[in-house]
Amino acid sequence: MSLTKLLVPTYTQMLKTLSGWLEKAASQMSAAEAEGVLSARLAPDMFPLATQIRFACVQAQEAVYRLRGKAFPTSLAELLDEARDGGDRPGSLAEARQRIDETLALLDGVGSTELDTDAEMPIAHELPNGMIFDLTAEQYARDWALPQFYFHLMAAYAILRSEKVALGKADYIPHMFAYLRSATSPAS
Protein backbone atom coordinates (compact mmCIF):
# COMPACT_ATOMS: atom_id res chain seq x y z
CA MET A 1 0.00 0.00 0.00
CA SER A 2 1.27 3.46 -0.79
CA LEU A 3 1.89 5.95 2.00
CA THR A 4 -0.52 8.40 0.35
CA LYS A 5 -3.31 5.83 0.23
CA LEU A 6 -2.64 4.88 3.84
CA LEU A 7 -2.18 8.27 5.49
CA VAL A 8 -4.44 10.70 3.64
CA PRO A 9 -7.70 8.71 3.95
CA THR A 10 -6.89 7.76 7.56
CA TYR A 11 -6.17 11.32 8.62
CA THR A 12 -9.14 12.65 6.67
CA GLN A 13 -11.75 10.28 8.05
CA MET A 14 -10.51 10.53 11.63
CA LEU A 15 -10.23 14.34 11.60
CA LYS A 16 -13.80 14.50 10.30
CA THR A 17 -14.73 12.15 13.14
CA LEU A 18 -12.98 14.41 15.65
CA SER A 19 -14.86 17.40 14.29
CA GLY A 20 -18.09 15.44 14.74
CA TRP A 21 -17.22 14.77 18.38
CA LEU A 22 -16.79 18.49 18.95
CA GLU A 23 -20.11 19.16 17.26
CA LYS A 24 -21.72 16.55 19.49
CA ALA A 25 -20.14 18.12 22.58
CA ALA A 26 -21.49 21.52 21.60
CA SER A 27 -24.99 20.09 21.12
CA GLN A 28 -25.00 18.23 24.46
CA MET A 29 -23.54 20.94 26.69
CA SER A 30 -24.42 24.46 27.64
CA ALA A 31 -22.38 27.10 25.82
CA ALA A 32 -20.20 27.66 28.89
CA GLU A 33 -19.63 23.91 29.41
CA ALA A 34 -18.82 23.41 25.73
CA GLU A 35 -16.19 26.14 25.78
CA GLY A 36 -14.83 24.93 29.10
CA VAL A 37 -14.38 21.39 27.84
CA LEU A 38 -11.32 22.51 25.87
CA SER A 39 -9.48 22.98 29.18
CA ALA A 40 -10.39 19.50 30.45
CA ARG A 41 -7.60 16.97 31.06
CA LEU A 42 -7.47 13.30 31.95
CA ALA A 43 -4.61 13.80 34.40
CA PRO A 44 -2.84 16.87 35.78
CA ASP A 45 0.33 16.15 33.82
CA MET A 46 -1.47 15.63 30.49
CA PHE A 47 -2.30 18.26 27.92
CA PRO A 48 -5.90 19.52 27.77
CA LEU A 49 -8.40 18.76 25.01
CA ALA A 50 -7.48 21.95 23.14
CA THR A 51 -3.90 20.74 22.83
CA GLN A 52 -4.86 17.17 21.91
CA ILE A 53 -6.93 18.47 18.98
CA ARG A 54 -4.15 20.73 17.76
CA PHE A 55 -1.50 18.04 18.14
CA ALA A 56 -3.62 15.64 16.06
CA CYS A 57 -3.67 18.31 13.34
CA VAL A 58 0.08 18.87 13.73
CA GLN A 59 0.80 15.16 13.29
CA ALA A 60 -1.19 14.99 10.04
CA GLN A 61 0.38 18.17 8.66
CA GLU A 62 3.92 17.21 9.65
CA ALA A 63 3.60 13.88 7.86
CA VAL A 64 2.47 15.59 4.66
CA TYR A 65 5.39 18.01 4.65
CA ARG A 66 8.01 15.45 5.74
CA LEU A 67 6.99 12.88 3.15
CA ARG A 68 6.91 15.54 0.45
CA GLY A 69 10.46 16.43 1.48
CA LYS A 70 9.41 20.03 2.13
CA ALA A 71 10.23 22.40 4.96
CA PHE A 72 7.49 23.11 7.46
CA PRO A 73 5.64 26.36 6.79
CA THR A 74 5.44 28.99 9.52
CA SER A 75 1.74 28.16 9.92
CA LEU A 76 2.71 24.71 11.25
CA ALA A 77 5.10 26.22 13.80
CA GLU A 78 2.33 28.60 14.85
CA LEU A 79 -0.11 25.70 15.26
CA LEU A 80 2.47 23.82 17.33
CA ASP A 81 3.01 26.86 19.58
CA GLU A 82 -0.76 27.30 19.87
CA ALA A 83 -1.04 23.64 20.91
CA ARG A 84 1.67 23.93 23.55
CA ASP A 85 -0.14 27.00 24.92
CA GLY A 86 -3.54 25.23 24.94
CA GLY A 87 -3.62 25.01 28.73
CA ASP A 88 -3.46 28.77 29.11
CA ARG A 89 -5.35 29.72 25.96
CA PRO A 90 -7.63 26.89 24.92
CA GLY A 91 -9.58 28.95 22.39
CA SER A 92 -13.10 28.06 21.34
CA LEU A 93 -14.74 25.00 19.82
CA ALA A 94 -15.14 27.00 16.61
CA GLU A 95 -11.40 27.67 16.54
CA ALA A 96 -10.64 24.00 17.21
CA ARG A 97 -12.88 22.96 14.34
CA GLN A 98 -11.20 25.61 12.16
CA ARG A 99 -7.80 23.99 12.83
CA ILE A 100 -9.29 20.65 11.80
CA ASP A 101 -10.77 22.20 8.64
CA GLU A 102 -7.39 23.75 7.75
CA THR A 103 -5.74 20.36 8.10
CA LEU A 104 -8.47 18.70 6.02
CA ALA A 105 -7.91 21.31 3.31
CA LEU A 106 -4.19 20.50 3.25
CA LEU A 107 -4.96 16.78 2.99
CA ASP A 108 -7.48 17.42 0.23
CA GLY A 109 -4.72 19.05 -1.81
CA VAL A 110 -2.37 16.05 -1.64
CA GLY A 111 -1.97 14.36 -5.02
CA SER A 112 -2.84 10.68 -5.37
CA THR A 113 0.82 9.55 -5.15
CA GLU A 114 2.43 12.66 -3.69
CA LEU A 115 3.56 11.05 -0.41
CA ASP A 116 4.87 7.94 -2.10
CA THR A 117 8.49 8.79 -1.70
CA ASP A 118 11.14 6.19 -1.67
CA ALA A 119 10.14 4.00 1.29
CA GLU A 120 13.80 3.98 2.32
CA MET A 121 14.16 7.77 2.22
CA PRO A 122 15.91 8.75 5.47
CA ILE A 123 14.02 10.94 7.89
CA ALA A 124 15.72 12.40 10.95
CA HIS A 125 12.86 13.16 13.35
CA GLU A 126 13.92 15.49 16.14
CA LEU A 127 11.83 16.02 19.26
CA PRO A 128 11.80 19.27 21.26
CA ASN A 129 13.81 17.57 24.03
CA GLY A 130 16.71 17.00 21.61
CA MET A 131 16.12 13.29 20.93
CA ILE A 132 16.56 12.36 17.27
CA PHE A 133 15.09 9.28 15.64
CA ASP A 134 16.62 8.03 12.39
CA LEU A 135 13.85 6.41 10.36
CA THR A 136 12.99 5.54 6.81
CA ALA A 137 9.88 7.14 5.29
CA GLU A 138 7.99 3.88 5.79
CA GLN A 139 9.12 3.55 9.41
CA TYR A 140 8.21 7.18 10.07
CA ALA A 141 4.67 6.69 8.71
CA ARG A 142 4.10 3.35 10.44
CA ASP A 143 5.94 3.82 13.74
CA TRP A 144 5.59 7.54 14.43
CA ALA A 145 3.10 9.46 12.30
CA LEU A 146 0.09 7.16 12.70
CA PRO A 147 0.64 6.13 16.34
CA GLN A 148 1.17 9.73 17.45
CA PHE A 149 -1.91 10.88 15.55
CA TYR A 150 -4.05 8.16 17.14
CA PHE A 151 -2.60 8.91 20.60
CA HIS A 152 -3.87 12.49 20.46
CA LEU A 153 -7.13 11.44 18.84
CA MET A 154 -7.81 8.86 21.57
CA ALA A 155 -6.84 11.33 24.30
CA ALA A 156 -9.41 13.74 22.85
CA TYR A 157 -12.04 10.97 22.77
CA ALA A 158 -11.27 9.97 26.37
CA ILE A 159 -11.41 13.57 27.60
CA LEU A 160 -14.76 14.14 25.92
CA ARG A 161 -16.12 10.89 27.41
CA SER A 162 -14.83 11.87 30.85
CA GLU A 163 -16.67 15.18 30.46
CA LYS A 164 -19.92 13.25 29.91
CA VAL A 165 -20.19 13.74 26.15
CA ALA A 166 -22.26 10.77 24.95
CA LEU A 167 -19.81 9.13 22.56
CA GLY A 168 -19.58 5.45 21.78
CA LYS A 169 -17.91 3.05 19.39
CA ALA A 170 -20.16 4.11 16.50
CA ASP A 171 -18.97 7.69 17.02
CA TYR A 172 -15.36 6.51 16.78
CA ILE A 173 -15.78 4.62 13.52
CA PRO A 174 -18.57 6.34 11.55
CA HIS A 175 -16.58 5.82 8.33
CA MET A 176 -17.09 2.06 8.69
CA PHE A 177 -20.81 2.31 7.97
CA ALA A 178 -19.95 2.86 4.31
CA TYR A 179 -18.78 -0.78 4.29
CA LEU A 180 -21.74 -2.23 6.19
CA ARG A 181 -23.36 -5.13 4.38
CA SER A 182 -27.03 -4.31 3.87
CA ALA A 183 -29.49 -6.01 6.20
CA THR A 184 -26.80 -6.87 8.77
CA SER A 185 -27.32 -3.92 11.09
CA PRO A 186 -28.65 -5.04 14.48
CA ALA A 187 -32.26 -4.18 15.28
CA SER A 188 -32.78 -1.27 17.61
Cα(16)–Cα(27) distance, integer angstroms? 17
Which pLDDT belongs to residue 78? 93
State yes or no: pLDDT of 28 exceeds 70: yes
Band (187; pLDDT cuts 50, 70, 90): confident
What average pLDDT is seen over the chain? 94
| pLDDT average, residue stretch 17-31 | 96
Amino acid at 58: V
| pLDDT average, residue stretch 40-47 | 95
pLDDT tens per residue, range 51-102? 999 999 999 999 999 999 999 999 999 999 999 988 889 999 999 999 999 9
Express as a percent the part of the chain with pLDDT over 90: 84
3-state secondary structure the chain: CCHHHHHHHHHHHHHHHHHHHHHHHHHHCCHHHHHHHHHCCCCCCCCCHHHHHHHHHHHHHHHHHHHHCCCCCHHHHHHHHHHHCCCCCCCCHHHHHHHHHHHHHHHHCCCCCCCCCCCCCEEEEECCCCCEEEEEHHHHHHHHHHHHHHHHHHHHHHHHHHCCCCCCHHHHCHHHHHHCCCCCCCCC
CATH of 3-179, one of 1.20.120.450, 1.20.80.10, 2.60.40.10, 2.102.10.10: 1.20.120.450
State yes or no: pLDDT of 188 exceeds 70: no
| pLDDT average, residue stretch 147-176 | 96
| pLDDT average, residue stretch 6-18 | 97
pLDDT tens per residue, range 63-76? 999 999 999 999 99
